[in-house]
């Protein structure tokens, strides 16, 4: 999983490769919709005096990102009539997702959320579903577009573009809403999806990955399902299911054995603490007495740079110490920073307090995310990256998104200080599992070294 670091000169020049550069723009297109159906949208709804309990239930819209594994095999294998012939499979699905995002955001801007709350929620679901579909296609493109040694640079540029989009959809949308209206802000965000559309027109479709040894697994599955030579619709469906759905999951469990369940449990719990409290962050700032401009200046702009700094630190420590110790440290940092939110709720609306809390939260989040993405990347089989990574990213957010739906109910029942302590405690299982997985990895490594010495 851990590899020696490249030289500084090699690392610099890899970022000049055209396909690496394009990931900056694809990352921007992927990151733009997220806050617009999450914390930015919750600020809009709270300003309309919609109850915190209702806003909390809107957090369930984010579950769409967490269940994308269910349609990832379709994106991975199914051709879109007309679009696939013109653009290729990956670019076609990217374009379809981007058009769905732009349409959904534009329609959200044109209706009154308070008067048409259910229609507004349905449009937010459309945006989230289209965004999740775009994510699947971009992940597949990223893996297939360049050789494996360039995947680190591809991911780094993607993350930078993604973070820039979060800045635009967070601080930018808040500024526009303050200076004009929320409708204007969302119409502008819909227009910015053209960044992704133009990028899709400019890039080339990647060559398919070679099957290699994985073909043995697929042939075995086709023989077991009696679908080698399909003659009817049922056999063709079995063939598609065995190759597109069954093989990626079987491959993961064959490589990790029974410990695969512990790995999946860690993935599902690692980000539960920060996701659970995330939907309540902007309502918390507003209820505490901060203005939208203060939230934008400190919470978005300053927080953006702290996230980049945290990601940079995490990446450096992964190279220096391997992936496991930074991953454990990240889980501890995320849990502890939730306690700072509880402190801010007690001290009141002081700018220095908001700056401190936001700095710590974004620094720890960026650090933990960098370490955890490095861990997930090492788990993925490159042949099945689209489906397996969709599984990992879905599990990574699903429990947190589910529990975030109850966040408003908890705040109404016990108020903010207790809620943030509760969110911090939810990070304890992730810390324990990360330590357990590190010990397992160390034991396996030691056993392998012992076997080599005996041989």
Domain that holds residue 94: 15-206
Burial 418-440 (b: 16+ CB within 10 A, else e): ebbebbbebbebbbebbbebbee
In-domain check, residue 117: yes
What is the distance of C-alpha 395 from the center of its chain?
10
CA separation for the pair 420, 290 (Å, rounded): 18
In-domain check, residue 249: no
In-domain check, residue 174: yes
pLDDT in tens, 313-337: 776 677 677 788 889 999 999 999 9
pLDDT in tens, 87-97: 988 899 999 99
CA separation for the pair 157, 40 (Å, rounded): 24
CA separation for the pair 199, 25 (Å, rounded): 7
Which helix (H) or strand (E) segment is 361 a member of?
A: helix 351-379
pLDDT of residue 229: 63
Other Cβ atoms within 10 Å of 401 Cβ, number: 25
Longest alpha-carbon distance in the chain: 74
**Which of the two residues, 239 and 441, has the higher pLDDT score?**
441
Number of H helices, E strands in the chain: 27, 0
Closest CA to 363 of 308, 325, 324: 308
Least confident range of 11-20, 343-352, 358-367, 372-381: 11-20
Give phi and psi for 373, each to the nearest 5. -60, -40
pLDDT at residue 11 greater than cutoff 50: no
pLDDT at residue 115 greater than cutoff 50: yes
In-domain check, residue 123: yes
pLDDT in tens, 139-194: 888 877 766 556 556 776 787 899 899 889 988 999 999 998 999 999 999 999 99
Q: Which tokens is 85 given?
A: 């012939």
Q: Is 39 exposed, middle or buried (0-12, 13-18, 19+ CB in 10 A)?
A: buried
Q: Residue 294: CB partners within 8 Å, gap ≥ 6? A: 285, 351, 354
Residues listed for the chain: 455
pLDDT in tens, 228-249: 566 667 767 777 677 777 778 8
CA separation for the pair 387, 76 (Å, rounded): 7
In-domain check, residue 339: no
Q: What percent of the chain has pLDDT over 90?
A: 32
In-domain check, residue 228: no
CA separation for the pair 124, 122 (Å, rounded): 5
> If pLDDT is split at 50, 70 and 90, which confidence band does 19 have?
confident
CA separation for the pair 370, 365 (Å, rounded): 9
pLDDT of residue 140: 81
pLDDT in tens, 396-436: 877 887 887 788 888 888 889 999 999 899 999 999 999 99
In-domain check, residue 360: no
pLDDT of residue 186: 96
DSSP 31-74: HHHHHHTTHHHHHHHHHTT--HHHHHHHGGGGHHHHTGGGTHHH
CA separation for the pair 237, 197 (Å, rounded): 33
Residue with tokens 């733009």: 32
- The 3-state DSSP class for residue 227 equals coil
pLDDT of residue 30: 96
Pairs from 353-356 (Cβ < 8 Å, separation ≥ 24): 354/285, 354/290, 354/294, 354/298, 354/299, 355/298, 355/302
pLDDT at residue 387 greater than cutoff 50: yes
Average pLDDT, the chain: 83
In-domain check, residue 147: yes
DSSP summary character for residue 300: I
pLDDT of residue 8: 46
Q: Where are the beta strands (DSSP E) in 24-94?
A: none
**Which of the two residues, 367 and 320, has the higher pLDDT score?**
367
Q: Residue 78: CB partners within 8 Å, gap ≥ 6? A: none
SS3 content of the chain, % helix, strand, coil (to 5): 85, 0, 15
Mean pLDDT of 131-140: 91
Mean pLDDT of 256-283: 87
CATH code for the domain in which residue 143 is found: 1.20.1250.20
pLDDT in tens, 203-221: 999 876 554 545 566 666 6
pLDDT of residue 300: 65
Q: How many domains does the chain have?
A: 1
pLDDT of residue 2: 45
pLDDT at residue 275 greater than cutoff 70: yes
């Amino acid at each position: 999983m851990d590899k020696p670091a490249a030289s500084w000169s090699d690392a610099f020049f890899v970022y000049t490769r055209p396909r690496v550069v394009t990931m900056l723009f694809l990352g921007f297109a992927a990151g733009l919709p997220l806050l617009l159906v999450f914390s930015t949208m919750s600020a809009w709804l709270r300003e309309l005096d919609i109850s915190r309990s209702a806003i909390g239930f809107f957090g369930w819209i984010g579950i769409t990102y967490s269940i994308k594994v269910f349609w990832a095999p379709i994106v991975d294998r199914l051709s879109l009539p007309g679009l696939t012939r013109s653009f290729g499979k990956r670019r076609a699905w990217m374009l379809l997702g981007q058009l769905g995002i732009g349409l959904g955001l534009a329609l959200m801007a044109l209706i009154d959320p308070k008067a048409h709350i259910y229609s507004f929620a349905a449009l937010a679901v459309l945006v989230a579903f289209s965004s999740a579909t775009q994510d699947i296609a971009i992940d597949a493109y990223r893996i297939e577009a360049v050789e494996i040694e360039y995947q680190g640079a591809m991911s780094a540029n993607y993350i930078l573009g993604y973070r820039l989009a979060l800045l635009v959809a967070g601080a930018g949308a808040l500024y526009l809403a303050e200076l004009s209206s929320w409708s204007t802000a969302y119409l502008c965000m819909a227009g910015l999806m053209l960044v992704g559309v133009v990028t899709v027109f400019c890039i080339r479709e990647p060559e398919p990955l070679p099957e290699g040894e994985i073909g043995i697994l697929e042939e075995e599955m086709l023989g077991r399902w009696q679908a080698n030579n399909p003659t009817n619709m049922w056999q063709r469906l079995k063939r598609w299911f065995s190759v597109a759905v069954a093989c990626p999951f079987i491959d993961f469990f064959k490589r990790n054995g029974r410990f695969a369940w512990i790995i999946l449990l860690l993935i599902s719990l690692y980000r539960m603490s920060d996701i659970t409290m995330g939907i309540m962050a902007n309502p918390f700032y507003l209820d505490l007495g901060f203005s939208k401009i203060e939230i934008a200046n400190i919470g978005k702009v300053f927080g953006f740079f702290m996230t980049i700094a945290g990601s940079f630190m995490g990446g450096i420590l992964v190279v220096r110490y391997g992936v496991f110790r930074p991953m454990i440290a990240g889980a501890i940092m995320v849990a502890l920073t939730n306690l700072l939110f509880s402190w801010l709720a007690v001290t009141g609306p002081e700018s220095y307090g908001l700056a401190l809390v936001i700095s710590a939260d974004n620094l720890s989040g960026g650090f933990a995310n960098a370490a955890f993405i490095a861990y997930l990347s090492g788990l993925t089989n490159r042949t099945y990256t689209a489906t397996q990574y969709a599984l990992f990213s879905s599990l990574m957010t699903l429990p947190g998104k589910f529990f975030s739906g109850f966040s408003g109910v908890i705040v109404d029942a016990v108020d903010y200080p207790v809620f943030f302590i509760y969110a911090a405690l939810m990070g304890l299982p992730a810390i324990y599992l990360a330590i357990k997985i590190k010990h397992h990895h160390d034991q396996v490594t030691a056993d392998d070294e012992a076997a080599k010495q005996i041989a």
